[in-house]
Copies of this chain bind each other. A is one copy, B any other.
Amino acid sequence: MGVPVVGVVGGGQLARMMVPAAVELGIEIRVLAEVEGSSARLAATQVGDYRDVDTVMAFAKDVDVVTFDHEHVPQNVLRAMVDAGISVQPGPDALEFAQDKLRMRERLTELGAPVPAWAAVSNAEELQRFIDEHRGVAILKTPRGGYDGRGVRVVRSGEEGADWFQDFDRLLVEELVEFRRELAQLIARRPSGEIRVWPVAETVQRGGVCHEVIAPAPGAGSGANRFAEVATGIAESIAEGLDVTGVLAVEMFETTDSRLLVNELAMRPHNSGHWTIDGSRTSQFEQHLRAVLDLPLGDPAALDAHSVMVNILGGPQEEAITDRFAVAMEHVPDAKLHTYGKSARPGRKVGHVTVTGDDLDEVMYRARTAAGFFDDPDTETDTGTDTDTDTATETSTSTNTEETR
């Protein structure tokens, strides 16, 4: 085989951030983007609908492997590729668990992974019974199509789910978890089985969207709250049990009674791993490319004692970007700035900043300071719905969180 060719379905910032890793390694990357001018436009070789079999098959026919910027490619499209002998990583069976929250909960339970109490409910009576058994409150989720606050609601009576039962045979109901903080365990697995694990990270949500990531999660590796090994074990068993290939992010709650419970899965590079671009020997984007090509995985060790990533949400209008660059670079010369080539919109993830170093307080301060220069009062607050596919799945992590933090 000559120069490896990776085809990425989806043109969001996750595909964009695979481009530097591909260029540096010397891998060819091609992107099937949803629209012209996507975040990953530099590598876009085709624009089309990822739900259309013919479109995706035409894109996939001469690449070595197909992978994804998001988990929303329909099963019939995925299976058409597999049937045609195309390497699809992760494969349809794994992605099914990322696409259907009920199937995910069922499978994790089979595997013995720790999850919140949950049930599949088919009507208001069953829902009411679950609520009654769980302190009078629960989280109701549609199995599919839920993101960014849609498809998820806090309910205190069976009646509150009535309208959704018209559209779905079964809904997922979960206990409202009381937790100290959220963790994300990032892991990579290649088809031939090798696994590599980054240090577990703490994720901090703001307004239902990932806002900050601290890696490694403070205190996770030592003392009474030694969660690092547990988190790694959970992620390994899920990656193997669900046959996930590429990067997998396992989002977890650290509960107030010191357990880890699996909240959501993302089968692709993930916001909780953006720190690895600057803070790890092997970034999640390089590792994802290596993994989906079934190449040996790189060293995921952290380069510094602490890494903090802060998202730029909303962001400045495009005409102001250079001014923001200048002021941020001037004040924090060690900040690694990343912007995604996306126009500003309230609550939209348009970039991030990472700072690494020995002193966590200092690192946190510098990362927040640098990111703060990109704040914009007009776009910072999420007043609308962002339909970015990437943001969509990522923010689903917050569905079990807002009322308890």
A334 interface neighbour in B4, B25, B281, B341, Cβ under 8 Å: B281
> CB-defined interface of A329-368 with B at 8 Å, one 1/0 digit per residue?
1100110111111000000000100000000000000000
Contacts of A20 in B (CB 8 A): 19-21, 23-24
A26, B339: Cβ atoms under 8 Å? yes
Interface residues on A, range: 35 or more
A329 interface neighbour in B1, B296, B303, B337, Cβ under 8 Å: B296
From 315 to 331 in chain A, residues with beta carbon under 8 angstroms from any chain B beta carbon are 318-319, 321-323, 325-326, 329-330
- Tell me what chain A mostly uses at the interface: helix, strand, loop, or mixed: mixed
CA distance A164 to B401 in the complex (A): 78
A281-B334, A296-B330 as given contacts; A322 in contact with B1, CB under 8 Å: yes
A334, B298: Cβ atoms under 8 Å? yes
CA distance A281 to B21 in the complex (A): 17
Contacts of A2 in B (CB 8 A): 318-319, 321-322
Q: Given A42-B42, A301-B334, output 13 extra A-B contacts at Cβ < 8 Å.
A: A2-B318, A3-B321, A16-B23, A17-B23, A19-B42, A24-B277, A25-B338, A28-B341, A293-B322, A296-B333, A298-B333, A298-B334, A299-B334
Q: Is A297 an interface residue (CB 8 A)?
A: yes
A388 to chain B, nearest CB (A): 16
13 contacts between A and B (CB under 8 A): A2-B321, A3-B321, A3-B341, A4-B322, A23-B42, A25-B339, A26-B338, A28-B341, A295-B326, A295-B329, A296-B329, A298-B334, A303-B304
Q: Is A43 an interface residue (CB 8 A)?
A: yes
Q: Is A290 an interface residue (CB 8 A)?
A: yes
- Closest B-chain residue to A340, C-beta based? B26
A303-B303, A321-B2, A321-B3 as given contacts; A24 in contact with B338, CB under 8 Å: yes
> CB-defined interface of A1-29 with B at 8 Å, one 1/0 digit per residue?
11110000000000011011101111010
CA distance A19 to B21 in the complex (A): 10
Contacts of A297 in B (CB 8 A): 329, 333
Contacts of A28 in B (CB 8 A): 341
From 124 to 169 in chain A, residues with beta carbon under 8 angstroms from any chain B beta carbon are none
- Closest B-chain residue to A303, C-beta based? B303
A269 to chain B, nearest CB (A): 14
Contacts of A303 in B (CB 8 A): 303-304
A315 to chain B, nearest CB (A): 10
CA distance A26 to B316 in the complex (A): 13
A-B interface, 10 closest residue pairs, ranked by CB to CB distance from nearest: A26-B339, A20-B20, A296-B329, A299-B334, A296-B330, A1-B322, A299-B333, A2-B318, A2-B319, A20-B23
Contacts of A319 in B (CB 8 A): 1-2
CA distance A84 to B37 in the complex (A): 30
Highest count of chain B CB atoms <10 Å: which of A28, A290, A333 = A333
Contacts of A17 in B (CB 8 A): 23-24
CA distance A304 to B6 in the complex (A): 31
A20-B19, A26-B339, A42-B23 as given contacts; A295 in contact with B325, CB under 8 Å: yes
Contacts of A341 in B (CB 8 A): 3, 26, 28
A326, B296: Cβ atoms under 8 Å? yes
A290-B329, A296-B333, A329-B290 as given contacts; A351 in contact with B4, CB under 8 Å: no
